[in-house]
């Protein structure tokens, strides 16, 4: 499911269809998270990616008029070079993934006290507190930056922004 969605995301011509295929792929990935006993990330994936990011993508696709680009080429001229490069990298990665028998305590999970979310929160707010705060700062900067980027250009003569609000 994840792989089929991913292939369709890259291969389909209409950008809206690509977005729907990407939703399928993200749902498949969320199912894998559930299989891997990462329940919190499963919920996060569905709420944040499928709810938030895909809404953003679809909104931008609607905002940008894609009708005239439907008749054009959809791949760049040197597409075979890109495919070759990606296939080389992917072959190395696949080989690396398949060859080694990975060492490690397979299936020897320590006795879990509390659910996945609780233990995750404990770890996040004790050992990874500084990166957590850094990521919140990054998100703040990203919000301000995207609003600044997407809002209408300030008029040149006055230097003031027009009264129309930010469209982000």
- Scan residues 39-58 and list those touching other proteins (CB under 8 A): 40-41, 44-45, 48-49, 52-53, 56-57
Candidate residues 114, 147, 154, 162; the one interacting with other proteins per rule CB under 8 A: 147
> How many other β-carbons are positioned within 10 Å of the β-carbon of residue 153?
7
**Furthest-apart CA atoms within the chain: distance in Å:** 68
Report the candidate in 66, 29, 22 with the shortest Cα–Cα distance to residue 44.
29
Q: Does residue 130 belong to the site contacting other proteins (CB under 8 A)?
A: no
CA separation for the pair 163, 141 (Å, rounded):
23
Candidate residues 77, 158, 160, 163; the one interacting with other proteins per rule CB under 8 A: 77
Q: Does residue 165 belong to the site contacting other proteins (CB under 8 A)?
A: no
Candidate residues 82, 115, 162, 165; the one interacting with other proteins per rule CB under 8 A: 82
Q: Does residue 93 belong to the site contacting other proteins (CB under 8 A)?
A: yes
Query: In 3-state terms, what secondary structure has residue 58?
Result: helix
Distances in whole angstroms, Cα of residue 65 to Cα of each of 59, 61, 68, 152, 164: 11, 7, 7, 17, 20
Candidate residues 27, 50, 71, 79; the one interacting with other proteins per rule CB under 8 A: 79
Report the site for other proteins in 97-126 (rule: CB under 8 A): 97-102, 104-106, 108-110, 116, 119-120, 123-124
Candidate residues 114, 115, 133, 142; the one interacting with other proteins per rule CB under 8 A: 142
Q: Does residue 36 belong to the site contacting other proteins (CB under 8 A)?
A: yes
Q: Does residue 129 belong to the site contacting other proteins (CB under 8 A)?
A: no
Closest contact distance (angstroms) between CB of 114 and other proteins is: 11
Candidate residues 51, 87, 155, 161; the one interacting with other proteins per rule CB under 8 A: 87
Find out whether 50 and 27 touch, Cβ atoms under 8 Å. Answer: yes
CA separation for the pair 119, 124 (Å, rounded):
8
CA separation for the pair 33, 48 (Å, rounded):
14
């Amino acid at each position: 499911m994840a792989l089929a969605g991913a292939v369709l995301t890259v291969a389909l011509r209409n950008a809206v269809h690509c977005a729907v295929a990407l939703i399928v792929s993200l749902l498949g990935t969320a199912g894998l998270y559930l299989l891997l006993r990462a329940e919190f990330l499963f919920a996060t994936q569905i709420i944040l990616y499928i709810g938030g990011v895909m809404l953003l993508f679809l909104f931008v696709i609607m905002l940008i008029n894609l009708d005239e680009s439907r008749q054009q080429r959809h791949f760049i001229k040197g597409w075979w070079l890109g495919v070759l490069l990606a296939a080389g990298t992917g072959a190395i990665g696949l080989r690396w993934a398949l060859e080694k028998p990975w060492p490690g305590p397979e299936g020897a999970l320590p006795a879990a006290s509390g659910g996945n979310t609780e233990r995750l929160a404990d770890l996040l707010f004790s050992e990874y507190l500084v990166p957590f705060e850094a990521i919140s700062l990054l998100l703040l900067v990203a919000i301000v930056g995207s609003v600044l980027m997407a809002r209408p250009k300030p008029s040149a003569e006055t230097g003031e922004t027009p009264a129309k609000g930010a469209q982000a």
